[in-house]
Amino acid sequence: MALTSLVVCADAKAVQVLSRALQELGMTVEHCGEFAAAAKRLAAERYDALLVDCGDEKAAAEVMAAARSSNDNKNVLAIAIADSHNNVREVFNHGANFVLYKPLSAERVATSLRAARGLASHERRRKPRVTVPTSATISYADVESATASLMNLSEEGVGISSRRNVPPRCKVYFEFTLPGQVSVVRLSGDVVWQDAFGRVGLRFARLPHSSQKVLNTWLSENLAGQLQAAPDSETARLPIEVKETEGDAEDGTSSSSDRRTRTRYNCRLSADVYPLGSTTPQHCSLSDISFGGCYVETNESYPTGTAVDIVVRTQDMKLRVQGIVHATHPGFGMGVEFTLLHDEQREQVRQLVAAQEAAAAAEVASEK
């Protein structure tokens, strides 16, 4: 089901910019130029996102109050359109979750609304979530064993809070121990949404049977007392002030130290992996790749520092490349840093990465 939005604004140019950005994110858009009419719509229809121009701050506050007082829209994601004349603290007090600043540009609005759409999407979770006051160890891309806090948990995914910026379209490997349990839960998940405060939503990508059993048992025991349906989540209601700058990174990161030196792309490539000098392969798959390395999904990973041969076969090529195991996650796989020995290997890796980049671009286009 498509997400729906209501844009309450009389500025035709601003409405055009906002509508285009929302439609490109797959959201249907309704427009209302009068505040009184908007309040009536909010009483009659349900929306996932509400965008309100705060040029008339009093009228904008009344619209947001009307949304919060209705049964269908009390948890709507409210996005305020403000300028330097608005009191941002008061805007948040009136019920806004996000603030976008004028003048609105297509590029900056699109970047900011990605995070907003993520929060609107995760309010439609099918499975109830339980709050989890515990910590986890997460690994992704070039980050190993970072500490994060679990916020909530369901059969399908988890919400975490991390001090690091997690790259979008990234697979995260994490482990944690649930309160009252002794078994370690080891999972992997794909980033679904994240916001400016370091909160990240992940959908489980791989759930080993042993971890699934521990997870389901704990959820069934704790669900009755801690049931936290997504529309009532505090996570969805916390205010987020998005101060747009021309220098903001496309992926929403702000610290250069947290950015990858090489872009990685999700993939699903069959591969054989050999410890250097061995003739006995492990049949496995690559889940992401860059010019500098790849992630090998396998139940039997090699120790860090192991030299390996990787043979990848596609419809168009066969690539054999050497590498060093950079990180290992028992039961999931290992990160491998390529050791490119000659120009032919480098060119083949470039072609392979280019093919995954094109596939990722096509996937993004199909989602719009």
Residue-by-residue pLDDT tens, the chain, 368 positions? 467 899 999 999 999 999 998 888 778 899 999 999 999 999 888 898 899 999 999 999 999 999 988 888 887 888 889 887 888 778 878 888 777 888 888 877 887 777 565 555 544 444 566 777 788 899 887 788 888 888 888 877 888 888 777 876 678 888 888 888 888 888 888 877 766 567 787 888 777 778 888 888 888 777 655 443 333 333 333 343 433 333 333 333 333 333 334 666 777 788 899 988 888 888 888 877 888 888 888 877 888 889 999 998 877 778 889 999 887 776 667 888 998 888 888 888 888 888 877 776 666 555 55
Phi, psi (rounded to 5 degrees) for 276: -55, 125
Q: Residue 83 is which amino acid?
A: D
Q: Give the domain ranges of the chain.
A: 3-124, 129-236, 265-367
Name every residue whose Cβ is closer than 8 Å to that of residue 221 and which is 6 or more positions away in sequence. Answer: none
Common-topology check for domains 129-236 and 265-367: yes
Task: Please state the pTM of the whole predicted model.
Answer: 0.39
Name every residue whose Cβ is closer than 8 Å to that of residue 115 and which is 6 or more positions away in sequence. Answer: 98, 193, 194, 195, 196, 240, 242, 252
Cα–Cα nearest to 129, from 219, 218, 234: 219
129-236 has CATH 2.40.10.220 classification: yes
In sequence order, the β-bridge partners of residue 329 are 333
Phi, psi (rounded to 5 degrees) for 83: -135, -170
| CATH hierarchy code of domain 3-124 | 3.40.50.2300
265-367 has CATH 3.40.109.10 classification: no
DSSP at 56: S
